[in-house]
Amino acid sequence: MPIQDRPPPPEPSKERTKGWGVIGLALVVIGFVVYIAFFILVAATGLSGATSPDMLPMSLMLVAGLSVLCFVVGVGVLIAKVLIDRVFDREDGYYSRHIER
pLDDT tens, position by position, 49-72? 555 555 567 777 788 889 999 999
Q: How confident is the model at residue 86 (pLDDT cuts 50, 70, 90)?
A: confident
pLDDT tens, position by position, 28-45? 999 999 999 888 887 777
**Does 24 score more than 90 pLDDT?**
yes
Query: What DSSP character marks residue 18?
Result: T
Q: Would you say 68 and 31 are in contact if contact means Cβ atoms under 8 Å apart?
A: yes
Closest CA to 84 of 8, 19, 6, 5: 19
- Note if the pTM is more than 0.95: no
Residues 7-21: what's their mean pLDDT? Answer: 68
